[in-house]
């Protein structure tokens, strides 16, 4: 319990520091300084000049993109762009996103990992009505936590996410840590052939197993992009796995990096990065100092590993500029997430299992395969008349330990909305507690994850392998 006490102290003291930072910040803004536009990375979404600091217009629309060089692919894109624009918000400051649906089907937008009110969670029927083609819905919320998050539709997800509607959302700290480079990489394997033509996004045979993998690997929409950093730069690399299917076993060659945040949330003590798995929906923030060109042999490579082999995701080269003076890597403040009361927490078991059931066709002639179950129950296809009972009825303010058990041979990244888990145990072994919104269960894996049910509403609780979710592995918890 010693580690939990340390965590509690750190969360409390960081919250005080960040609060005083916020006060100073709002004071500066009243003085007319506003937001420094020059700080915005090149592909961040532009602010609307409305006097409201974090005000954006976002669309989802059909577009064309060159993913495989030399070929054009019909995609679905936010503001018509691949990669989707990074949405920048600030911890403790309201953000307003005027979203217009320019698709020819309904949609909603979910802000993955943000602890915000249920009305803004972007889940059809549970939290809002679907946004119909041509309609605009205004999402407005104040992110309590800083970090690397992401956004995506929560309707027809295999298609809408699969064809490109996936973007990063960066919530900056109330007091910004002093990195020289802050780069976002969104990782996605597209279901494309060598000429940029679409292949099947889902096949029942794979949906019932690990999910259907795409074949064209990209970071920020580009296969193995190159980034150039000045030697000595203190780099913060924000990695987000926005893939429908892939779990990436990551490694970094050519430099020693530190893990500074997992799934958006700073870790209490950064630790050396020696490989890490991120399942669909998960993120990882790394920090490193860019080596001199000669030391790095001109290249630092981010790879994912399959068996013995490494495949490049992105590479980083040192520029020929003189090295920046040595400075220590900045430390991130802990997010103000309540530390659960473990002694008095109620433990709830959740078993994730496989069943093979090809359902008969429905009235529209479509089949709805069911392959996956939570506590012996599948839920697939959301509709106004298709909301089952919650998988758990939680009392507002109470602490819970979810005892997660994967009785299958495949990975399941288990995601909860509106709350953030504190992971206590993995595969029966205690771990240094860390916060996450998505717990990756390995083959026949187990995990114990605790949280305070402090956000009232009906919150999705599902696997983030999209085909698993769509074929049964989803449910919701009710907090009241």
Binding site for Cu ion (CB under 5 A): 412, 463, 465, 468
For Cu ion, give the closer residue by CB, 60 or 187.
187
Minimum distance, C-beta of residue 150 to Cu ion, in the bound complex (Å): 18
- The candidate with the shortest Cα–Cα distance to 418, out of 27, 118, 22, 171, is 118
Nearest distance, CB of residue 315 and Cu ion, angstroms: 31
Residue number with CB closer to Cu ion (110 or 412): 412
Rounded to a whole number of angstroms, the minimum distance from the CB of residue 404 to Cu ion is 12
**Smallest distance, Å, CB 412 to Cu ion?**
3
Q: Name the residue nearer to Cu ion (CB basis): 118 or 465.
A: 465
The position carrying tokens 């998988």 is: 391
Q: Whole-angstrom Cα distance, residue 86 to residue 78? A: 10
Q: What whole-number distance in Å separates Cα of residue 224 and Cα of residue 214?
A: 15
| Pick 468 or 470: Cβ nearer Cu ion | 468
Q: Considering beta carbons, is residue 234 or 464 the nearer one to Cu ion?
A: 464
| Shortest Å, Cβ 413 to Cu ion | 7
Choose between 234 and 412: whose C-beta lies nearer to Cu ion: 412
Quote the least distance from Cβ 115 to Cu ion, whole Å.
23
Instruction: Return the structure tokens found at 161.
Output: 């996410």
Residues forming beta bridges with residue 76, ordered by sequence position = 62
Dihedral angle at the C-alpha atoms of 422, 427, 430, 435, nearest 10 degrees?
-20
Q: How far is the CB of 275 from Cu ion (least distance, A)?
A: 22
Indicate the residue among 154 and 412 with the shorter CB distance to Cu ion. 412
Q: Are 174 and 22 in contact (CB under 8 A)?
A: yes
């Amino acid at each position: 319990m010693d580690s939990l006490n340390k965590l509690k102290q750190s969360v409390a003291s960081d919250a005080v520091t960040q609060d005083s930072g916020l006060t100073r910040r709002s004071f500066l803004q009243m003085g007319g300084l506003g937001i420094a536009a020059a700080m915005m990375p090149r592909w961040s979404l532009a602010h609307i000049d409305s006097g409201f600091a974090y005000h954006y217009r976002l669309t989802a629309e059909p577009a064309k993109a060159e993913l495989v060089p030399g070929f054009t692919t019909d995609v679905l894109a936010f503001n018509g762009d691949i990669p989707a624009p990074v949405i920048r918000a600030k911890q403790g400051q309201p953000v307003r996103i005027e979203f217009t649906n320019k698709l020819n089907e309904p949609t909603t937008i979910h802000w993955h990992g943000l602890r915000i009110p249920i009305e803004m969670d972007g889940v059809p029927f549970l939290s809002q009505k679907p946004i119909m083609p041509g309609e605009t819905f205004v999402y407005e919320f104040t992110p309590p936590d800083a970090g690397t998050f992401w956004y995506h539709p929560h309707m027809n997800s295999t298609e809408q996410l699969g064809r490109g509607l996936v973007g990063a959302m960066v919530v900056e700290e109330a007091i910004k840590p002093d990195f020289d480079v802050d780069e976002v990489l969104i990782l996605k394997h597209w279901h494309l052939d060598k000429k940029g033509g679409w292949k099947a996004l889902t096949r029942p045979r794979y949906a019932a197993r690990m999910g259907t993998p795409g074949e064209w690997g990209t970071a920020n929409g580009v296969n193995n992009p190159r980034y150039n950093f000045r030697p000595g730069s203190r780099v913060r690399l924000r990695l987000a796995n926005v893939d429908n299917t892939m779990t990436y076993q990551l490694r970094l060659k050519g430099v020693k990096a530190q893990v500074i945040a997992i799934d958006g949330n700073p870790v209490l003590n950064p630790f050396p990065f020696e490989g890490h798995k991120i399942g669909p929906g998960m993120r990882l923030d790394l920090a490193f100092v860019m080596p001199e060109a000669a030391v790095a042999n001109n290249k630092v490579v981010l790879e994912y590993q399959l068996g013995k082999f490494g495949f490049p995701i992105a590479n980083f080269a040192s520029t020929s500029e003189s090295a920046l003076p040595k400075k220590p890597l900045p430390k991130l403040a802990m997010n103000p997430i309540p530390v659960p009361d473990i002694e008095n927490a109620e433990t709830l078991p959740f078993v994730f299992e496989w069943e093979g059931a090809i359902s008969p066709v429905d009235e529209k002639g479509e089949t709805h395969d069911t392959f996956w179950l939570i506590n012996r129950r599948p839920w697939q296809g959301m509709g106004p008349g298709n909301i089952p009972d919650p998988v758990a009825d939680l009392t507002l303010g109470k602490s819970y330990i979810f005892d997660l058990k994967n009785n299958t041979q495949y990975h399941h990244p288990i995601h909860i909305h509106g709350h953030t888990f504190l992971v206590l145990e993995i595969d029966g072994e205690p771990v240094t507690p860390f916060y996450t919104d998505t717990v990756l269960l390995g083959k026949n894996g187990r995990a114990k994850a605790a949280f305070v049910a402090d956000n009232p509403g009906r919150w999705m609780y599902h696997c983030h392998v999209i085909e698993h979710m769509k074929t049964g592995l989803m449910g919701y918890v009710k907090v009241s």
